[in-house]
Amino acid sequence: MQGREAHPHQDRDRDEDGRRTGRGRHVPVMLQRCLDLLGPALALPSATVVDCTLGLGGHSEALLAAFPEVRLIGLDRDKEALRLAGERLAPFGERATLVHAVYDELPDVLDRLGVPRVQGVLFDLGVSSLQLDEADRGFAYAQDAPLDMRMDQSSGIGAAEVLNTYPPGELVRILRSYGEEKQAKRIVSAVVREREKEPFSTSGRLVELIREALPQAAKRTGGNPAKRTFQALRIEVNGELAVLERAVPAAVRALAVGGRIAVLSYHSLEDRLVKQVLAAGAASTAPPGLPVVPERYQPRLRLLTRGAELPSENEVADNRRAAPARLRGAERIREEAG
């Protein structure tokens, strides 16, 4: 399970009532590299950057501090994240506009704000530290909690309802497709058998069931044996891949010429999708054999990373949640073909 920000002093991040505050010094993943990738576009006068996955506001804070003229639009589907990021970004005043939205709603958000094009877009995908560390959200398999996993707790169905109501074949598909779980049939058989006795409601019971269902060989590799199942349920509950399929092309279309996009992914399904969109934009669409390639077939993007860049060993040592991160970037070099 991944997280987007480290927080070595979690206990200092609470107010007198025990609520998390926006004051903690959270360390965003691959921060300097993200600033370097987006920087040339954000140095332009009146530049606007969109942080599509605001989380606790770490990347946004750094962008606003590093580029004093930039305007930031921050999106998050998690209302608690918006509250905390708002506290953190309050010193920047009107330079930061925070919006409760899923990132595939980017075109609508920009339209409402009267922003036709932007100079930068950042995605930091996966689960934020806020979601991982609030036990009652049910994202973490290391602690017993209600099986929820909704990033926006004001809408949709939680993981427990998925486990308790989906047909067995659909559950197998989800675990295989979204969790790349080779033991999907074995796990789902155990889930179906147990849910008939009593519906699932907590993460601890699911973790225990998975441990018992898997053969010994499968439990010896790949970390916690529940990791892939929890990833699959989280993706299903939040529609993450479907949202991402819409969001990355929309973000590319929102870029002005010279604008840049940077995307941090945390598992192969996300990274593959991002790679496909950016690679397609950086490729010529001309039919083979043309002696001269017309403008409308020329690539719209220039790739800024050779493959996916990885966090440094030092960063992983400081922040274990950075370990699975994969960073890709591209620059808009041409308008869409008319």
308, amino acid identity: A
Q: Could you tell me whether strands 255-265 and 326-332 are parallel, antiparallel, or unpaired per DSSP bridges?
A: antiparallel
Give the position of tokens 């973490």.
140
Please tell me what DSSP assigns to residue 143: S
| CA 155 remoteness from chain centre | 18
The response to whether 124 counts as a known ligand-binding position is: yes
The response to whether 131 counts as a known ligand-binding position is: yes
Kindly report the backbone phi and psi dihedral angles of residue 262, in degrees, each rounded to the nearest multiple of 5, phi listed first.
Answer: -130, 135
Buried b (16+ CB within 10 A) or exposed e, 191-222: beebeeeeebbebeebbebbeebbeeebeeee
The response to whether 267 counts as a known ligand-binding position is: no
The response to whether 58 counts as a known ligand-binding position is: yes
Residues 6+ apart with CB under 8 A from 109: 73, 75, 99, 101
- Residue 69 burial by Cβ neighbours in a 10 Å radius (0-12, 13-18, 19+): exposed
The response to whether 59 counts as a known ligand-binding position is: yes
Buried b (16+ CB within 10 A) or exposed e, 6-36: bbeeeeebeeeeeebebebebbbbbbebbbe
The response to whether 57 counts as a known ligand-binding position is: yes
| CA 127 remoteness from chain centre | 6
Other CB atoms within a 10 A radius of the CB of residue 80 amount to 18
Please tell me what DSSP assigns to residue 202: B
CA atoms of 242 and 323, how far apart (whole Å): 25
The response to whether 158 counts as a known ligand-binding position is: no
Long-range contacts of 14-20 (CB under 8 A, 24+ apart): 20/80, 20/84, 20/130, 20/134
Residues forming the annotated binding site? Answer: 57-59, 76, 103, 124, 131
Residues forming the annotated binding site for S-adenosyl-L-methionine? Answer: 57-59, 76, 103, 124, 131
